[in-house]
Amino acid sequence: MAGFKSSSCLVVFSSKNGWPLEADPKSHSWEFPKNGSSSGITKCLSGKVKKMSSKARSSAKSADKSAFDKATADKSTSRSKTGMTSLGKQDKAGAQIIVDSLIEEGVDTMFGYIGGVVLPLFDRLYDAPIRFINPRHEQGGCHMADAYSRVSGKVGVMVATSGPGACNLVTGLATAMMDSVPIVALTGQVRTELIGNDAFQEADTTGITRPVTKYNCIVKDVKDLARLIKEAFYIASTGRPGPVLIDIPVDVEVSRYSIDRPVEMDLPGYRLRPKGNARQISIAAKAINKSEQPVLYVGGGIISANASDELRQLAKKAHLPVTMTLLGLGSFDQREPESLDMLGMHGSAYANYAVQQCDLLIAVGARFDDRVTGKLATFAPNAKIIHIDIDPSSISKNIRVDIPVVGDAKEILGELIKEVEFRERKKWFNKISEWKKKYPFRYDNTSSKIKPQYVIEEICRQTENGAIITTGVGQNQMWAAQFYKFIRPRQLISSGGLGTMGYGLPAAIGAQIAKPDATVIDIDGDHSFNMTMTELSTAVEHNLPIKVCVLNNGYMGMVRQWQELFYNKRYSKTYLANPDYAAVARALGAVGETVDKKADVPKIIKSMLKEKKPCVVDFRVEREENVWPMVPAGKSIDEMSGLDILESMA
């Protein structure tokens, strides 16, 4: 009895132990075992499941051929216009096929941790022209690959062994999945005949990672290996990007196969729609031209699509104010008068007020997540909403949309620019200007204590807005978003959707490897830094001049703030005894400094920026400083706490 296949979904049948079974490489149809009960596991790319005949499958392949051809031709000049690559006709071990496939995809840097079942692969990597970075933990390596991808625009590559090695990738994969970051993870697996027998270091890697990957699969036959790797890179980097995992049993790594023809993808169910509907684009343009109080609301999808130039042109030509999500920061120069900075829970008051009073909200590459919308029922109550996104499943998912446009942001904005008209909108911009004057981001700069906001402002001043900034998660992240003004895309590297504490340091390593000549600074919290502090050894080993600024208040700051505001200052378990971070840094071979006087902040930052070795600076900041403004849970985004506090500091 065969599995089902459709143009939009692959249905994988598994045996009772949960492991995928052998597949027909031509049709992707999976067979039930001849004995034992079975259960169905679906891995959908989009749409509904239905039976597909061979004739329908052939038709789907034909329909998708042109899309595949264009995407693969754009992606690599080494590929032919038929979307095929050739690894050369010769008998090769599976491990060598993996290495050759990576080189074919343009991989020159990868991250990973060795283990028993990936030994054949690592043996072949020994002579490969690929830079390999060993993290101190697989999670750290996955974050490095993630940040490398965000900064470089390439697919990040991570390798891990079976069992615990693969399991350690889960948080990193989930982080990339939530933030739409293209990663290809290659995991080792026990020998095929041992799968399902609780062998040493065996885990159901595909089952465990299915919810946190865009696509995953296990390779059961070496003849499928090159094709599946090629498909992995294509799936990860096209449409809405995301992580893809390929699980490779060790016997597949050592099996030999002669590739006697170009490697061709077989993905009839994976359809791309890069060009938006022309009629919908025209409707959107007319709505923009007609609106009196519009707002452009943009997310990380603008950066993924490399559409920042088009965004700037649209905002300037149509004269539109622009607000950004956390992951959208840098897509529009925050020094420009049209910038409203970040919106949402800890966004600017002027952005939140503008969104709530606009008559047209133009969302591009953003998904209306809860930290942006606040109370859904009262979000942008007077606005008609345009939503431009590559992912059709995001349209009207959280907020009802009036004018949906599905497609690539770069292409759609390019078309919109042609149709929009300049409108002065003087009253609207005057109102926004009044909000900006009344409610800027502020803090008590007269205090004798070190304010975390002051540290970030000083970093921004001395780097002239030019550094690549990574962050942990919590107060440090929000202060960085508020007080560092970003001027270009791929400049802020942070965990937005999953909110992964410990992301900042390994992300700084990945970012520095992607841009060796850039100044890379991790603005971190002490609790976040504690989680992946061991990766400092990785930076030392590779002599990476990253800078780590620990805003050390002794608390899990954001959680403590909630305890202060909503739990009567009952600080339950939010305090940890921290080590001497400067001493730890020196012990690991890095430079370490401690700053506990406000007057020393500028000169230590200046010294840090000149340092050629990894450097950690422990800033002992105000212990109970809060992030303002703040939209409490369940409130509308214009119901902000802390505005009175900010006004009192004027």
pLDDT digits (tens, 9 = 90+) for 215-254: 999 999 999 999 999 999 999 999 999 999 999 999 999 9
Asked if pLDDT for residue 59 goes beyond 60, the answer is no
Task: Give the DSSP letter of residue 326.
Answer: T
CA atoms of 410 and 314, how far apart (whole Å): 11
Place of tokens 């004057």: 437
Q: For strand 109-112 and strand 156-160, is the pairing parallel, antiparallel, or unpaired?
A: parallel
pLDDT digits (tens, 9 = 90+) for 410-462: 999 999 999 999 999 999 999 999 999 999 999 999 999 999 999 999 999 99
* CA distances from residue 462 to 329, 352, 498 in whole angstroms, order as listed: 20, 29, 31
Q: How many CB atoms lie within 10 A of CB 25?
A: 14
Residues with Cβ within 8 Å of residue 207, at least 6 apart in sequence: 18, 19, 41
pLDDT digits (tens, 9 = 90+) for 100-124: 999 999 999 999 999 999 999 999 9
CA atoms of 477 and 471, how far apart (whole Å): 5
Q: Return phi, psi of residue 360, to 5°.
A: -150, 125
DSSP H or E run through 601: helix 601-610
pLDDT digits (tens, 9 = 90+) for 1-56: 333 333 333 333 333 333 333 333 333 333 333 333 333 333 333 333 333 444 44
Res. 62 pLDDT band, cuts 50 70 90: very low
- 3-state DSSP call for residue 616? strand
CA atoms of 556 and 551, how far apart (whole Å): 11
Res. 642 pLDDT band, cuts 50 70 90: very high
CB 375 within 8 A of CB 382: no
Asked if pLDDT for residue 325 goes beyond 80, the answer is yes
Q: How many CB atoms lie within 10 A of CB 36?
A: 9
Instruction: Look at residue 33 in the predicted model and tell me its pLDDT.
Output: 36
pLDDT digits (tens, 9 = 90+) for 182-228: 999 999 999 999 999 999 999 999 999 999 999 999 999 999 999 99
Instruction: Look at residue 260 in the predicted model and tell me its pLDDT.
Output: 80
Q: In 59-81, which positions are buried (b, 16+ CB within 10 angstroms) versus exposed (e)?
A: ebeeebeebbbebbeebeeebee
* CA distances from residue 541 to 131, 135, 514, 537 in whole angstroms, order as listed: 14, 10, 16, 6
* CA distances from residue 129 to 77, 79, 196, 250 in whole angstroms, order as listed: 19, 19, 36, 23
pLDDT digits (tens, 9 = 90+) for 567-606: 999 999 999 899 999 999 999 999 999 999 999 999 999 9
DSSP H or E run through 323: strand 322-324
Asked if pLDDT for residue 78 goes beyond 70, the answer is no
Query: Structure tokens of 601?
Result: 């902040």
Res. 259 pLDDT band, cuts 50 70 90: confident
**Over the chain, what is the mean pLDDT?**
89
Task: Give the DSSP letter of residue 201.
Answer: T
CA atoms of 219 and 251, how far apart (whole Å): 10
* CA distances from residue 215 to 46, 75, 176, 209, 331 in whole angstroms, order as listed: 11, 19, 13, 9, 28
What crossing angle do the helices spanning 54-75 and 225-237 adopt, rounded to 10°? 70
- 3-state DSSP call for residue 620? strand
Reference 264, options 487, 43, 79; nearest CA is 79
CB 183 within 8 A of CB 157: yes
Cis peptide before 629 (omega within 30 of 0): yes
Instruction: Look at residue 304 in the predicted model and tell me its pLDDT.
Output: 97
User: Which domains are present in the chain?
Assistant: 77-264 (3.40.50.970), 278-438 (3.40.50.1220), 452-628 (3.40.50.970)
Asked if pLDDT for residue 386 goes beyond 50, the answer is yes
Q: Return phi, psi of residue 248, to 5°.
A: -125, 110
Query: Structure tokens of 630?
Result: 């703040």
CA 440 to chain CA mean position, Å: 29
Instruction: Look at residue 22 in the predicted model and tell me its pLDDT.
Output: 33
- 3-state DSSP call for residue 645? helix
- 3-state DSSP call for residue 434? helix
Res. 84 pLDDT band, cuts 50 70 90: low
Helix-strand-coil percent breakdown of the chain, rounded to 5? 40, 20, 40
Reference 593, options 579, 581, 609; nearest CA is 581
Task: Give the DSSP letter of residue 354.
Answer: H
- 3-state DSSP call for residue 117? helix
CA atoms of 211 and 177, how far apart (whole Å): 9
